[in-house]
Chains A and B, each alone.
Chain A
Amino acid sequence: MGMSEDTEVYRKHRDELLRYATSLVGASNSEDIVATIILRTIRRRPLSELENPRSYLMKAVLNEARSVLRRQAADPLPASLVESLSPEVAETIDAIRKLPMRQRAAVFLFYWEDRPVQEIATLMGVRPGTVKRYLHNARRRLKGDLE
C-alpha cells in the first residue's frame, strides 16, 4: 500500500468530508479539519489500510470539529451571502448553527445527505436510537427557535 492508494482513498471521500466539515464548523475551517484528520490518520497508518475509511474519516471529522469549536467560534457566513438570503433562510441557518454539534451532524447527514438512521449511526459511531434522539431534539429545538 502506498501514497497512490492513499491518494485514491482521499480523493474518493474528500468532497463528502469537506461538505460535512463545512456543515459543522463553516467553510473557513473545513479544509483545516479535513487536512488535520487526514494527516493524523496517515501518520498512524495508510488510509488504504482502513477497514472502513469513510466511516473512520467521517467520525474523525466530527471529533475534530468538536475540538475546533472548543477553541473558537464557528465561522460566520460571509456578510454578502447573508444579505442575499431571505430572512427565513438566514434565520434557519442561524438556528442550525446553534444546535449542539452532534445534533447538527445528524441533521446534516439526515436532511442533506439523505442517509438512513442506521448509516448515520455508523458514521457518527453511536447507536441508531441515539441518532433518533439527536434528530428529535434537533427538530424540537429548531421548531422552537423558528416559531
Chain B
Amino acid sequence: MRVPAWTWPLTWAAALAVGIAFLAALAYAPREEVMGDVQRIFYFHVSTGWVGGLGFMVAAVCGGLYLRRPSDNLDDIGHAAVEIGLVFTVINIITGSIWARPVWNTWWTWDPRLITASIMAVVYAGYLALRFSIELPESRGRMSAGYAILGFVSVPMTFFSIRLFRTIHPVVVGTGAAAAESIGMSGRMAGTLMLSLAAFTLLFAALLTHRLRLSRLQRLVEHRSWEQLGSQ
C-alpha cells in the first residue's frame, strides 16, 4: 500500500514544531515567579490535555457519522483518534502529577479535575477493550461508534469540572473571575502556550495519518487471509 504523498511532510513539520515548542518552553518563556522552572511543564501539560480532548471529539463525530452511514474509513479514524487521545490523556495526567509533586506537595489528590480526567481515561480504555472483544467488523464498528458518542459525555465533564466545583486546579482557558485570579500569563507565556498547542495539534494529525495507514494494512491482511481460507 502506498504512503499518501503528504504523510512525510506532515510528520517532519510536526517533529519540527514540537522541537521548537520544546525550546520555547525551556528558553523563550520567562521563569515563573512563584513556582520557578517546574512551571515550564505547563506548556506540554495543557497541550497533551488538548490533544486528548481533540482525539475524543474526533472519535465522537466519526461515531455519529458512522451510525448514519457505516464505512471502514470512519471506523478507522475513530479508533485511531481514541488511541492517540488516550495516550495523550495519560501523558497529561502524568505530567500533572509530576507538576503537582513540588507545587501541591503530593503526587495525587482527590480533586474534581483529577477524578474526571482519570475517569475520562478509563472510559476510553473501555472503548478499546470493547473493540478487542468484538470480532465481527460491522458489529465492532457500530458498537464502538455508539460508545464513542456515549463516552464523550466525560470530555465536557472534565473540561467544566474546574469551572463548576471548588478545586485547586487552575483555570487557563476562558474569561471571568476564576480565570483571572488563578493564572496570570505574561505575553511570552501565552505565546509559548499557543505555539505548543499548535505543535501538538500537528503532531496529532501526523500520528493519525500513520495510525490510519496501519489500520488499512490490518484490514488488507485480514481480507487476504479470508481470501486464502476461501481458496483452499
Q: Do A and B come from one complex?
A: no
Residues of A within 8 A of B (CB): none
Residues of B within 8 A of A (CB): none
